[in-house]
Structure 1
């Protein structure tokens, strides 16, 4: 199986962490890829604050404390391990927030990426422990409802303090007793639906993925938001898929949204996520549906929504703050131990209003 970019980033970070610094040409040889690929990877990782880059070489960030005494380590600072399902898109900001908080605490953060393969989470976490991690930030690579039961049992028995990131286990389960920091996606969806209703629209359609915990939370939050506002869904949720992975299914979803607009079923929509939303808007324009003139639209995630031709209003989960608060909680847990009460910290998303919702329908030309 071809190695993903996330896996290559993971190996690159591991090599630099172990050596302290390395030349780009040496990394290319070690990773078995071209120097151009390594330079591109280094640029991305340096941009996220995970590496320092100087004159053809890279080094572990200078503002991170030296590793604690452990395998190969001689320093005295804390070593924190982080398991994330991806180092790009949503989790790039979570990682950045964790890295910044670790540096402020005089700790070193080491990273492993599962690339949304939950069956590999346990082994990658064991790698973090072998590297000297004294506490863990864990965002399992769950994608489907059955994944926590199938691939999550080991987390509750980890030998070091652990904080879950952006994951809500089943109430009353062993994982529910762990510290965790999450975005309140139900609140974010409510902000979006209420904004569209306040503009004079009826209940918006939801077009959403179903391949991540965020997607599942957006779907359940949509039902809750409609109930809170006394609304009924205009039709069933339109299942969304990445256009590059399933172009036929993506086209089918866009056609369903187009038909809902043309038939008057809905004048507004919420789309998860904003990469999909941008592609949907582009395809709708080709089909004669204009945003916001014919359809008011809000995207969910706010990673690239502002870069659309018509900047998209978007729900922005507090991704960076999730990483920061989780790291601060872990450092505090390591300092105080088991006597500190467990915490479930929930952070509220924001609605960033741009151009894609337009004016009230009655005021449009």
Structure 2
């Protein structure tokens, strides 16, 4: 299967994080891609503040020194003798880049040191990587497991409840009544975000929108369940089954089939609006629909979910924006507070509400 840009970005970040700095030509050889591709990747990652560029080389940002400690390095006290916090994230790009940034900012304000490890969405490796954080001196943990499928929490999650230090889950909702359900956690309310999107389209005069969504992450699963809840709240029926989406880079044929299904629904008058998870898919869908003669917003009002790059589309996309940076910030503040409270303090489940950022892709209200 062809590697996605996000996967390549994570590998690139991992190489730079381990070495501290590296030449673009060396990274290209290690990643098995052209120097032009690496330079383009570096430019994007540097624009997000995840790397520094200097004359043909890249380095880990100096102000991220604590957050980006190389795997296996020994921990130490944070700034001013504060605690060492370990963070496990499934990715350092796209959605979780902002979560990590929020956590790093909050740790710096608290005088703590944040040590980061990336699971690359391999939940079977989460336990070993977390043990590495503990070995690096982590006194508390921020854990976003690399779960992708509904069965992953049961198959790869029980160990989290037995960790020897205070732990806060990030953007993960374990099953009610499970051992993990008793942990502190900070999450985005994706059901609320979907409701904002569906309600906005209905208020513009559209019927129930179609949903085109992935099924390869907890966010995707939450968007799907939130869609059913939103329709029920608004007294609507889905115009047809959810259209399964996949990354265009790794599964071009399946992606094309999904776009064709959406085009057929628009042509048949099944729906005049759609919600698409995620941003990258939404932008590529709009581009392909235009080639097929379907115009956004003239023929189809469209809202994207995630709001990572939605504003950069040719027609800027209205998007649901989960509070990613705030999730990282509040989780870190909760963990620091927990370290000072002791084991007897009540656990907390903090849910943050997404926002709807209205742009051009929904057009004007229907007559």
**Cα separation, partners in 2 of 1:33 and 1:189, compared to 1, 3 Å:** closer
Q: Which moved more, 1:153-162 or 1:61-70?
A: 61-70
Runs of 4+ in structure 1 deviating by more than 2 angstroms, as ranges, are 1-77
Give 1:339 shift. 2.9
TM value normalised by structure 1: 0.85
**Cα separation, partners in 2 of 1:27 and 1:209, compared to 1, 3 Å:** closer
Structure 2 gap segments, 5+ residues each: 63-67
Over aligned residues, Cα RMSD in angstroms? Answer: 3.7
Please say if 1:190 is aligned against 2:195. Answer: yes
Give 1:211 shift. 0.4
Question: Deviations along 1:190-220, whole A, 9 cap, x unmatched?
Answer: 0000000000000000000000000000000
Please say if 1:64 is aligned against 2:73. Answer: no
Give 1:37 shift. 8.9
Give 1:327 shift. 0.5
Structure 1 gap segments, 5+ residues each: 359-365
Provide the rounded CA distance (Å) in 2 between the counterparts of 1:108 and 1:308. Answer: 37
**Cα separation, partners in 2 of 1:11 and 1:294, compared to 1, 3 Å:** closer
Counterpart contact for 1:254–1:284, Cα < 8 Å:
yes
Counterpart contact for 1:65–1:103, Cα < 8 Å:
no
Q: What secondary structure is seen at the aligned counterpart in 1 of 2:250?
A: coil
Q: Which moved more, 1:244-253 or 1:191-200?
A: 244-253
**Equivalent in 117, 123, 131 of residue 118 of structure 1:** 123
**Cα separation, partners in 2 of 1:310 and 1:327, compared to 1, 3 Å:** same
Give 1:175 shift. 0.4
Counterpart contact for 1:66–1:75, Cα < 8 Å:
no
Counterpart contact for 2:263–2:294, Cα < 8 Å:
yes
Provide the rounded CA distance (Å) in 1 between the counterparts of 2:287 and 2:325. Answer: 29
Question: Deviations along 1:62-86, whole A, 9 cap, x unmatched?
Answer: 6999999957999832111110000
Question: Deviations along 1:223-242, whole A, 9 cap, x unmatched?
Answer: 00000000000000000011
TM value normalised by structure 2: 0.85
Counterpart contact for 2:75–2:84, Cα < 8 Å:
no
Counterpart contact for 1:66–1:108, Cα < 8 Å:
no
Give 1:350 shift. 0.3
Query: Number of paired residues?
Result: 358
Provide the rounded CA distance (Å) in 2 between the counterparts of 1:72 and 1:27. Answer: 32
Counterpart contact for 2:79–2:113, Cα < 8 Å:
no
Provide the rounded CA distance (Å) in 1 between the counterparts of 2:249 and 2:30. Answer: 31
Provide the rounded CA distance (Å) in 1 between the counterparts of 2:246 and 2:31. Answer: 32
Please say if 1:318 is aligned against 2:323. Answer: yes
